[in-house]
Amino acid sequence: MNGVTVKVAGDTKSYQVPIAADQSFTVDREQWALDEDASVITNHRVDSMTWRTDIRTPGLPPHTRRLGDLRLECRVGREANLLSPKPLLIDAAAKVIFSMIDFCDGIETRYLLFADRPVFSVKMIFGARTRTIDFDDLYAGVSYLGVSKMAMSYCDCQAILDRTYYLPLGDHSWPDDTLIEFDYMEPSSVIQAKDQL
């Protein structure tokens, strides 16, 4: 990620977007950018990196996310064409289909989400109700889908599979205030220290 630059570019204007130390960036809401249908672009090849929206309700317990925030991330991702995986041959067809349906509200929606660190498990919690996400919905669903090496090459997740997961975004029996709790993998240095004890 060293040397990456990001800018918002329209037909007549553009501006450089500052990148924070954690490699995040914020795009300001500019009327001219909306009017010109401006794009967020980088100095890297299209297939060499990706970006995702990060929406977080303040004050959540550590190692948790809010389901409503993740649903909103899906909506932004759909509008920005950040669906994964998406082979280029079907990309145009996918745009047409997703423009006609509410993709993020579908019961079978498989919008790839990313945790902050590698995960062992992901749990949904709302009051006394809990659900541990199936293993087949972790690690980009590779074990479930039998995804080929060629198909995985179209996925922006291939370098960080251990952070990826799917949620039932369209299942509204789980309200927006449902907490998503992550059981993260331990750093390798901690595991090595335990092995030496």
Q: Are residues 143 and 69 in the same domain?
A: yes
For 55, the 3-state DSSP assignment is coil
Ranges assigned E (strand) in the chain: 6-9, 14-17, 39-42, 64-66, 113-114, 119-126, 129-132, 164-165, 179-184
- pTM beyond 0.85: the answer is no
pLDDT digits (tens, 9 = 90+) for 78-107: 887 766 555 444 455 555 555 555 778 877
pLDDT for 197 beyond 60 = no
Contact 163, 117 (CB under 8 A): yes
Q: Are residues 168 and 75 in the same domain?
A: yes
Q: Are residues 4 and 68 in the same domain?
A: no
Q: Are residues 39 and 87 in the same domain?
A: no
| CA dist list (Å): 70 to 67, 130, 131, 145, 161 | 5, 17, 17, 23, 18
Peptide bond into 85 cis (omega under 30): yes
Q: Are residues 126 and 162 in the same domain?
A: yes
Residue 162 inside a domain? The answer is yes
Domain that holds residue 166: 55-191
Residue 197 inside a domain? The answer is no
Q: How far apart are CA 13 and CA 19, in angstroms?
A: 20
Q: How far apart are CA 125 and CA 61, in angstroms?
A: 12
Residue 196 inside a domain? The answer is no
Q: Are residues 20 and 61 in the same domain?
A: no
Q: Are residues 75 and 156 in the same domain?
A: yes
Q: Are residues 72 and 163 in the same domain?
A: yes
pLDDT for 126 beyond 60 = yes
Q: Are residues 102 and 169 in the same domain?
A: yes
Q: Are residues 74 and 171 in the same domain?
A: yes
Name the burial class of residue 133, with classes exposed (0-12), middle (13-18) and buried (19+) by CB atoms within 10 angstroms of its CB: middle
pLDDT for 35 beyond 70 = yes
pLDDT digits (tens, 9 = 90+) for 159-192: 678 888 999 999 999 999 999 999 999 764 444 4
- The per-residue pLDDT of the chain, averaged, comes to 80
Q: What's the structural domain count of the chain?
A: 2
Residue 89 inside a domain? The answer is yes
Residue 40 inside a domain? The answer is yes
Q: Are residues 76 and 118 in the same domain?
A: yes
Expressed in angstroms, the distance from the first to the final Cα of the chain is 36
Name the burial class of residue 100, with classes exposed (0-12), middle (13-18) and buried (19+) by CB atoms within 10 angstroms of its CB: exposed
